[in-house]
Amino acid sequence: MRGGRDRARKALSKALITGGAGFIGYHLASHLVSSGWRVDLVDSFSRGASDSALAELWASPGVRVLERDLRAAEALADAGTDYTHVFHLAAIVGVSRVLERPYEVLRDNVGMLMHTLEFARTQPRLERFLFASTSEVYAGSFHHLTLPIPTPEDVPLALPDLAHPRTSYLLSKIYGEAMCRQAGIPFTIVRPHNVYGPRMGLAHVIPELLERAHAAADGGALDVFSLDHRRAFCYVDDAVELVARASTADGCDEEVLNVGREEREVSIAELARIVVSVVGKRLEIVDAGEGAGSPRRRCPNMTKTTRLTGYRASVDLEQGIGLTYEWYRENVFDRPVAVR
């Protein structure tokens, strides 16, 4: 009987996902659609890729695509009033963008969230507003305080140097968390930690290492920055399962939750060795020095998220990197370049 009620509830659920053409947005939408939700994807397509995977998702029953620029106050004015869930994933991200355009990062990330919150406040059926914050909010605490690792959600948040461009992104997310708390609607805040997988672009450590290892000559070298830095990586299927559950579980209302995998924190050197093994080449890993601006360790404490969602990330790193490599090899690395 309970299973029938759950299916009926999902059939009545309708989600709006901002940043729906992006990495996590696409995978979250696919997950919700496969579970019987109706889903509207909102994206400006300034960064989110319009590709065959997205086209296939668009063709699914119950999916609608809204090309909108959320920097405009009226971007969602005609979207409708029947959403039960709003997932706000849209943001200016990426280290290069943050370093080159810090003012725009602050202005646009806050503005897009404000306009989406105002829209959510008009939804009479709204059950939850889910805001994607970031693990970067812990960066200032890492520098100024004794930060426990794995890191729980209740640690005090400190700010790094406000003059540094990189601070703009985490500051926009901290401000965004405060906006959600004061908006007067049911909310959940998630802080993703090193989520990876197919279709995430190339400006991230795992696909970037995969690309260079794939292109390297067997017996050659692979230059890797920050070999002794440590991270705990979470495959995207696990991440979206956690996000979806967090958006519907009653106990997650008004909570801040880490999204990631705690069990295995690895050095970047070990990560590189796994990548080389997955690619299937003999490559010497060469220390390329220290990467600038990156914390030496990042690993989430997942105790609260596991307890409230009833789910623990299960895709191990070798398996996840293998799945990621398979997708990139078929869709990016080995695709013929069109002759112009």
Return the ∠ at Cα 53 (arms to 15 and 211), rounded to 5°.
120
User: Which 3 state secondary structure label does DSSP give 259?
Assistant: strand
Question: What does the pLDDT read at residue 137?
Answer: 97
Binned at pLDDT 50, 70 and 90, residue 42 comes out as very high
Mean pLDDT in residue range 233-248: 98
Mean pLDDT in residue range 156-165: 94
Give the residue among 249, 235, 252, 232 at the shortest CA–CA distance from 313.
235
Question: What does the pLDDT read at residue 310?
Answer: 98
pLDDT exceeds 60 at position 38: yes
CA 72 from centroid of its chain's CA atoms: 23
pLDDT exceeds 90 at position 93: no
Question: What does the pLDDT read at residue 339?
Answer: 37
Domain 2-195+234-261+299-314 has CATH 3.40.50.720: yes
Return the ∠ at Cα 17 (arms to 207 and 55), rounded to 5°.
65
Question: Rounded to whole angstroms, how far apart are CA atoms 99 and 96?
Answer: 5
Query: In b/e form, how buried is each residue of 216-232, taking b as 16+ CB within 10 angstroms?
Result: beeeeebebebbebbbb
3-state secondary structure 216-248: CCCCCEEEECCCCCEECCEEHHHHHHHHHHHHH
184-232: pLDDT as tens digits:
999 999 999 999 999 999 989 999 999 999 999 999 999 999 999 999 9
Question: What does the pLDDT read at residue 291?
Answer: 77
Average pLDDT, the chain: 93
